[in-house]
Amino acid sequence: MDDLADSVLRIVIEPGYKPMRVKEMARRLEIPSEGHAPFRALVRELVRGGRIELGRDKTLRPPDRKGLVIGVFRRAARGFGFVKPEPHHHARGSIFIPPPAARDAASGDTVAVRITKRARRPGENDEGEVVRVESRAVGAFVGVYHESQGVGFVQVDGTTFRDPIPVGDPGAKGATPNDKVVVEIVRYPTANRAGEAVIVEILGQRGLPGVDTLAVIRSFNIPDTFDPTVLDQARERTRSFDEDDIAGRLDLRALPTLTIDPATARDFDDAISLSRDEKGYFNLAVHIADVAHFVPAGSPLDHAARDRGTSVYLPDLVIPMLPELISNGLASLQAQRTRYTVSVLMEFTPEGIPTDRRFARSAIKVDHRLSYEQAMALLSQPENSQGELEPGLLAMLHQMRELAMILRARRFARGALELSLPEVQIQLDTTGGIAGAGLATHDESHQLIEEFMLAANEAVAGTLSEAGVVYPRRVHPNPDPFKLDDFAEFVHGLGITLDQPQSRFELQRVLAETAGRPEEYAVHFGLLRSLKQAQYTPEPEGHYALASENYCHFTSPIRRYPDLVVHRQLLAWLVGETPRIKLEEMLALCKHCTRTERRAQAAERELVRVKLLTYLQTRVGEGFHAIITGVEEFGLFCRLVELPVDGLIAIKSLPDDYYYVEPGSMTLIGRRSGARYRLGDAPRVRIAKVDVDRRQLDLVLEQAEPQPRGLAPSRPRGEMEPPPSRPPRRPLAVKKTKAKPTPSTRKPKKARKRR
């Protein structure tokens, strides 16, 4: 129903919307007669929630938002919070919300805010109050169960709620102290009133293997089981599949074909074939699993995939978008098996200029499966590859690298940006605990697959755009010029000139200049936070980072629902049919897929942090190398080098002094001692405290004075990944005061602890 609610809300805020009654709205949305009762109930919920209003003539109208700002609320541990407005509502940055003015809003909720005090100086925030909660981010929360004075309480994980929430009599639903439990909120807490919740599920004792993973799954409301009807349909599709039946398909089984994937991959949705003619032209075939053949639109399988939106890749578990009979079986491009595919057949000149593109429903047989590590070894040491790969396939692999590097160079020549921010990869032991951690590599074996996937995605998007077909584009809107100006000011403080931050080529230069330097991570992350987030939409907004006018996701239909929709639109166009999805429906679908994608990414980051913090609980007091990645008036954000996790050196733990942040240079300076702590510095730190439930890591300096810059062990380029904390921002001085939080701070300023 979420998509239907989005469709109703989108219609009522359309320019020129003429108020209509519920029955008219149902006709507009083509609701069948049997769906009228649920639709009326949905409308009633929207009215009760204040998201739409019912006029005296019973017509549906947009809510009265005159003078209100709509945005997403984030609450800090001390009760105050900030609202990040939707782009078309507010242009002055986040709005500071004092604790009483937050009412019962929880982190992630969409709220309507009234501005109560305008900022007086640049760098400050407007102040406001929450008028109402437009929509709740989640309905269930995970926390640790406790008992006190004959009452059960749950301390919700993270900083969503400051205080424990009562859940009734002790032992409710069989809970025992220190259990991880799921609760539903009956009454949200406010600054002056306790909340109330009920336990709906017990996950197990805190700290037991697997409980942390299950807690994150429940926290983000990720579906992790399939209905029996979905599984039954998957079994039926398996029984009816005959790999020898390739009627109506282009037979490409004799074409030399490779897959290159992670060593641990279980589903394979892309394969590559490449040849070169006598003129030096490259003929590239990108074969993508024909998931649409196995998942009919509107079927139980399709509804399950749409609801999930994407597969979720957690450190110790994969939650697939489709049942494994499909994702790891029928659709997966396994070696030496005939598999159904949709092939993108492209031709490139020796200089990498595309000259032709064709599409076909096809059948292939993968000759060999390679991991990224195997492919890189074959590319870097071909003399040691005898017997590992048939000579013709080895020659094709080297041609693949040649073409990929040509395409990569052309992409950067048109202004594409690439940030060096690889993901954290953790290694688990047999119990699910941490055995080690590092950062993902991004070598030529990864790059060649990346370039071919980009080429196929652009070919499909270009074709559908030229044909006028509505499809879910992958867009990356142009950044806000003011944010780029702030980024230019930030890098100037590091001694890097950036006079034209709107120039992609100037941004490329800055990224290249910082490669391998201690401040590389902070600069790349700072630029990332200056850019907008990529999303799905049918609107032709282009992709800023790729410098691409038309782009979509086509190459991963096993794990991404938008890719499956693009397949259906392309296949319908190939046979001359008019795709049926209307613009309104596509808009709602894209919004849903963007939301599920971000949910999956947030869940993965959350669980990685939980596991790293759990591991660090056993290493309190130990020393590590670190890189300063953020400088704030309340302390220094650091990324550990040996174990890629982020923590905070609170200002109160620094050597006794009065500290202020120097404008422009992102340096924390002691007034009396002159001690300087600058972005990119490499101090030694010790683990002071770990709070897994609050997701907090407290660090202290191992030495009284900051180390000279660059003392961290050298690391390959790209071995840094952004922290979940904020990026560096325009600094403010630290004052000797214990005043309450003000609109000019993101967290309360603290006085020095002693003289």
- Segment 390-412 mean pLDDT: 95
pLDDT at 750: 40
More confident residue, 79 or 572: 572
pLDDT at 727: 32
Buried b (16+ CB within 10 A) or exposed e, 182-203: bbebeebbbeeeebebebeebb
Least confident of 120-124, 236-240, 366-370, 670-674: 120-124
Residues near 587 by beta carbon (within 8 Å), at least 6 away in sequence: 6, 7, 10, 537, 538
CATH superfamily membership of 68-135? Nucleic acid-binding proteins (2.40.50.140)
Average per-residue pLDDT for the chain: 86
* 140-205, CATH topology level: OB fold (Dihydrolipoamide Acetyltransferase, E2P) (2.40.50)
d(CA 258, CA 729): 46
Of 111, 116, 129, 147, nearest in space to 191 by CA: 129
Residue 736 banded pLDDT, cuts 50, 70, 90: very low
Residues near 117 by beta carbon (within 8 Å), at least 6 away in sequence: 126, 127, 128, 743
pLDDT at 265: 85
Least confident of 261-265, 305-309, 318-322, 543-547: 261-265
pLDDT tens for residues 426-447? 888 887 778 878 888 889 999 9
Q: Indicate whether 721 pLDDT > 70.
A: no
Q: Indicate whether 266 pLDDT > 70.
A: yes
Q: Indicate whether 278 pLDDT > 80.
A: yes
Q: Indicate whether 40 pLDDT > 50.
A: yes
Q: Specify whether the CB–CB gap between 414 and 504 falls below 8 A.
A: no
Pairing type for strands 258-261 and 179-187 reads unpaired
Least confident of 257-266, 283-292, 332-341, 575-584: 575-584
Q: Taking the C-alpha atoms of 504, 505, 511 and 516 in order, what is their torsion angle to the nearest 10 degrees?
A: 160
pLDDT tens for residues 516-560? 887 888 888 889 988 999 999 999 999 999 999 999 999 999 999
- Segment 357-372 mean pLDDT: 96
More confident residue, 486 or 541: 541
Q: Do you know the residue count of the chain?
A: 755
Q: Indicate whether 708 pLDDT > 60.
A: no
Give CATH for domain 2-61.
1.10.10
Q: Indicate whether 32 pLDDT > 90.
A: no
Residues near 65 by beta carbon (within 8 Å), at least 6 away in sequence: 112
Angle among Cα 442, 385, 716 to the nearest 5 degrees reads: 25
- Segment 231-237 mean pLDDT: 96
Residues paired with 141 in a beta bridge: 183
Q: What percent of the chain has pLDDT over 90?
A: 55
d(CA 144, CA 537): 39
- Segment 472-500 mean pLDDT: 90
Q: Indicate whether 745 pLDDT > 60.
A: no
Sign of the C-alpha dihedral, residues 549, 555, 561, 566? positive
Q: Indicate whether 48 pLDDT > 80.
A: no
d(CA 293, CA 248): 12
**Topology agreement, domain 2-61 and domain 68-135:** no
Least confident of 243-247, 355-359, 482-486, 540-544: 482-486
**Ranges of each domain in the chain:** 2-61, 68-135, 140-205, 228-472+549-605
pLDDT at 385: 66
Q: Indicate whether 512 pLDDT > 60.
A: yes
Q: Indicate whether 214 pLDDT > 80.
A: yes
3-state secondary structure of 349: coil
Say how many C-beta atoms besides its own lie within 10 A of residue 490's C-beta: 25
pLDDT at 709: 38
pLDDT at 560: 97
